[in-house]
Amino acid sequence: MAVAVPGKPALCTFAEHANKPMRTFQISVETAPDGHNQYLAVLWRACGSAFTPLSAIGNEAATCTRERHGNIIEALAVGRVRDQIFTVTLGTSIKDDMVLTPAMLKMKIGIAAEQVSGNLY
């Protein structure tokens, strides 16, 4: 089991490979002495101003989607439970992915954020 300590995030990454294209799921948890300000910094780095607040998840949470390297589509959730900042990322590099469509990414990232937040309480 990974344990978050100040300055070093605990990180779990899961990947499903089908040759080069793949699907990924990643959870990161970091303990921060100034939880609210650190949450805002992580949120800004991950999403910029293009985020949507998630209600009833931890103390604060938001989600966004982004494209990386032109062919990876990711949904992210960033949240805070007391002094713990969590980031959940779900992505696919499969062109026209029939399983992780953009709508499915948005739905699943909210569910994942809710589960992570609940486990941090």
- Which one is the CATH code of 10-120: 1.10.357, 3.40.1000, 3.40.640, 2.50.20? 3.40.1000
pLDDT in tens, 74-101: 999 999 999 999 999 999 998 889 999 9
Give residue limits of the domains in the chain: 10-120
Q: What is the mean pLDDT of residues 26-42?
A: 90
Q: What is the pTM of this model?
A: 0.87
As a whole number of angstroms, the distance between CA 14 and CA 96 comes to 21
Q: Which two tokens stand for residue 46?
A: 């991950």
Average pLDDT of the chain to the nearest whole number:
88
As a whole number of angstroms, the distance between CA 82 and CA 52 comes to 20
